[in-house]
């Protein structure tokens, strides 16, 4: 398994929570790049409301990780694309629940998604 070292230097503002300013990998055997996961279920259904969509997008990320024999503890970088600033706090709460104490590098941006029914998209990089 990759050795993952988090860097949160005192010279940089502290993370707002749930992530690290930098993540260093050493001795990794492989990298997995997870394409942007939208909040669709396997049958194409899209849950109602932001929280349900966020949870579904995370389930999709976890399914891709699992297909590669990995888990959320292998995540080294997560990028979340939100469609509204009001989603920042609920997104943070759900992400913290999913990741537990694991703190990958993180970026959150406000965008317009390809399909307006999607309220977010999550992409990730994992290492072993």
Determine the average pLDDT of the residues in 68-96: 97
Per the listing, tokens 């080294």 go with 76
Q: Is pLDDT above 90 for 126?
A: yes
Determine the average pLDDT of the residues in 73-90: 97
Determine the average pLDDT of the residues in 93-122: 96
What pLDDT, on a 0 to 100 scale, did the predictor assign at position 1? 65
Q: Who has greater pLDDT, 103 or 27?
A: 103
Domain covering 3-127: architecture: 2-Layer Sandwich (3.30)
Q: Is pLDDT above 80 for 52?
A: yes
């Amino acid at each position: 398994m990759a050795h993952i070292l988090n860097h949160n230097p005192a010279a940089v503002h502290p993370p707002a929570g749930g992530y690290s300013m930098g993540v260093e990998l050493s001795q990794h055997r492989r990298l997995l790049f997870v394409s942007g996961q939208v909040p669709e279920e396997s049958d194409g259904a899209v849950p109602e409301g932001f929280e349900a969509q966020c949870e579904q997008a995370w389930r999709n990320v976890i399914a891709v990780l699992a297909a590669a024999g990995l888990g959320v503890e292998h995540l080294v970088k997560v990028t979340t694309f939100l469609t509204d600033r009001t989603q920042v706090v609920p997104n943070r709460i759900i992400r913290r629940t999913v990741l537990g104490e694991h703190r990958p590098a993180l970026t959150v941006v406000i965008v317009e998604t390809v399909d307006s029914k999607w309220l977010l998209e999550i992409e990730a990089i994992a290492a072993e």
